Structure 1
Amino acid sequence: MKLIDLTHTIHRNIAVFPGDDPIQLDQIRTLECDGFNNFRLSTGMHVGTHIDGPKHMTSDTRLMADLPLEMFTGKGVLIDVRGEEKIEFRESFRTSIQLGDIVLFYSGLDNLFGTPQYFTDYPDITEELARYLADQHVKIVGLDWVSPDHEPYPIHDILFKSNVLILENLINLDQLLNATDLEVFAFPLKIEADSSIVRVVARVK
């Protein structure tokens, strides 16, 4: 078995969504002066690789800390959508996507992370596909770009109202193209917040 990290590194200069506050990551104690090292992080929950919970854009009252661990791990399915301007339903999904899967969409756009283009020029998932994924009760929809939709965010609404979580800003999905027996682990902080920064790992044969 092999573990593949699908997560951006959090650092002082990590790009944030336009309009969001930049993160602050500071060393507040040093070994030389204090006998130990310590760092302080001040950040929103939608920085880098993160998972959106239903409370992010609906009236659902559940916080990340309230959601069961089973929602954050499961069998993964990789869908290659490179070059597509719109992510549409395919008949092949009827056999490739099963009840309770974690569906990862690979666009290759993670290579643009940190550029202005990354936050504006990305494909939307269609409402037809979002409803199909919701009907299949997939656990998570994961993307290597910033969002499954643009304002007014109809895809967020469809998925959240069906208890589907959204993973954004994944990396290294190209390393899963020939993977078999894919498992995904996307555990958030146990935090009283709508969403969470997250470490996402794939386990493959």
Structure 2
Amino acid sequence: MIGMAADADRRVELHGSRVIDLTHEMYHGMPSWPTNSRFCVEDAKLMEVDGYRLRDIHMNTHHGTHMDAPSHMLEDGDPISAIDPGRLMGDGLVIDLTHKGDGEPITREDLREFEPEIRRGDMLFMHTGWDLLRGINRRYLFMWPYLSVDGARYLVERGVSLVATEAMSIGGWGDRTPTMGPITDTGTEVHRILLSNGVLIIEEVANLEEVLAGRRYARAQFVALPMKLRDLDGAPTRVIAIVD
């Protein structure tokens, strides 16, 4: 599907395929996990004063579209810098789960509807439409559809290599703020089931409806490249789909 051009600059040619960016923009004050640190951008150098621009970024390893490394939840799990790049690209499937409601689990039975399409080694992307709600609002910050424990076990049984969600977390909201109590207490278990079985996790992806193009499921090739942060538990990740 992808080949290298013969000209001197070695540009990648897509031979009629299309690239869809599945990554959210990162910006000052963007939504993030409500009880963790916020993403902040500050001016360090100004064009008008210094003749060039430079900005400081204050962030954590799970801001924006990001990948969870095994070490996020497993004491002896690999950090993000140890993940083989060969695992970060390959074939996969987007499935339409937009029928799932606020705070509703995505179960084994929901996923079994797509069983004939889910192949061993697939990167699986779950489309709920939650990326369109992105902002500082109650639904986006707390009420997303989440993968259930039996759903996580099913994906391990099917042998997927990676699972991605448009939500803040693959598990449901299980924390507490002055305005919102927990939806579920299964988030940690879901992460551990996946990560302990070699299934990588990407959270807060976007634009999956462009891959589906009105279908219930669609296959594509995917590339997901996290920042190579030494010995850390996750990293912001650029994710793309390549479709015919």
* Superposition TM-score, scaled by structure 2 size: 0.78
Query: Partner of 1:175: helix, strand, or coil?
Result: helix
Larger radius of gyration: 2
Residue 224 of structure 2 corresponds to which residue in structure 1? Answer: 186
Residue 241 of structure 2 corresponds to which residue in structure 1? Answer: 202
Change (3 A) 1:105 1:12: same
Distance in structure 2 (CA, Å) of the matches to 1:54 and 1:197:
15
Query: Partner of 1:128: helix, strand, or coil?
Result: helix
Q: State the AA in 2 paired with 1:155.
A: V
- Offset of 1:60 from its aligned partner? 2.6
Structure 1 unaligned regions, length at least 5: none
Distance in structure 2 (CA, Å) of the matches to 1:197 and 1:42:
13
- Offset of 1:18 from its aligned partner? 0.8
The alignment status of 1:40 with 2:78, answered yes or no, reads: no
- After TM superposition, the structure 1 = structure 2 runs for residues 19-34 of structure 1, keeping only pairs within 5 Å, are 19-34=35-50
Structure 2 unaligned regions, length at least 5: 1-16, 173-184
- After TM superposition, the structure 1 = structure 2 runs for residues 135-174 of structure 1, keeping only pairs within 5 Å, are 135-150=157-172, 151-153=185-187, 154-174=189-209
The alignment status of 1:110 with 2:131, answered yes or no, reads: yes
What root-mean-square deviation, in Å, do the aligned CA atoms of Structure 1 and Structure 2 show? 1.8
Distance in structure 2 (CA, Å) of the matches to 1:146 and 1:26:
24
- Offset of 1:145 from its aligned partner? 1.1
Q: State the AA in 2 paired with 1:81.
A: L
Q: Any idea what the Cα deviations from partners look like across 1:149-178, whole Å, max 9, x if unmatched?
A: 233422111101101111111111110113
Q: Any idea what the Cα deviations from partners look like across 1:88-127, whole Å, max 9, x if unmatched?
A: 2344433211111100000001122121221211222222
Distance in structure 2 (CA, Å) of the matches to 1:138 and 1:70:
15
Instruction: Pick one of 80, 91, 95 that aligns with 1:75.
Output: 91
Higher relative contact order (CA 8 A, sep 6+): 1
Alignment length (residue pairs):
205
Distance in structure 2 (CA, Å) of the matches to 1:198 and 1:125:
21
Change (3 A) 1:160 1:61: closer
Query: Partner of 1:22: helix, strand, or coil?
Result: coil
Q: State the AA in 1 paired with 2:242.
A: R
In terms of mean alpha carbon deviation, does 94-103 or 127-136 score higher? Answer: 127-136
- Offset of 1:181 from its aligned partner? 4.9
The alignment status of 1:12 with 2:33, answered yes or no, reads: no
* Superposition TM-score, scaled by structure 1 size: 0.92
Q: State the AA in 2 paired with 1:117.
A: R
Q: Any idea what the Cα deviations from partners look like across 1:52-107, whole Å, max 9, x if unmatched?
A: 11111111342111110022111120110012133123444332111111000000
Q: Which runs of 4+ in 1 moved over 4 A?
A: none
